[in-house]
Amino acid sequence: MKHPAADIPPHIPDSVSLASEAVLAATWDSGVLAEILRRKSQSGESPAFLLLGRREASLLRSHLAAAFGEEAVITLKGTYYMGLEIVEIDFPEFFHTGGLKRPLRPSGTSVGGNTRAAMESGSIWRLQLE
């Protein structure tokens, strides 16, 4: 029997830094995220996650509380916003989209199959960090 730890990817060094994709003003701005998603979609990317630092998570929480009430957004864990899973990170300020959404291939289709056709056929989507 294969040990579960065998599937854990190697450790990513702490020296790797990832730049924030945007700096938000004093309030949450959905347009900033929409522009990032548009730009990435044009280059064929489809991010799966929205990584937010403490400040940005707080801005999003306030934005969602205004629409749905404070009790609805006690935590962002398990929350999706504009199709992205929210991931809060323990960093003062950070805003980055990451990972990729990729369709699982229906049986009998090639690796280079048509994504639109796969979406329309109701195939299952898998979220994958890359």
| SS3 state at 96 | strand
- Condensed to tens digits (0 to 9), the pLDDT of residues 16-73 reads 678 899 999 999 999 999 999 999 888 788 899 999 999 999 999 999 999 999 988 8
In this structure, is residue 37 part of a structural domain? no
Cβ atoms within 10 Å of 59's Cβ, excluding its own: 19
In this structure, is residue 92 part of a structural domain? yes
Closest CA to 106 of 90, 122, 93: 122
Residue 2 has pLDDT above 60, yes or no: no
In this structure, is residue 25 part of a structural domain? no
Domain check: are 90 and 66 in the same one?
yes
Range of the domain at 79: 44-98
- Condensed to tens digits (0 to 9), the pLDDT of residues 82-106 reads 999 999 999 999 999 988 876 655 5
Cα 71-76-80 angle, rounded to 5 deg: 110
CA 60/CA 2 separation, integer angstroms: 42
In this structure, is residue 33 part of a structural domain? no
Domain check: are 77 and 103 in the same one?
no
Domain check: are 94 and 59 in the same one?
yes
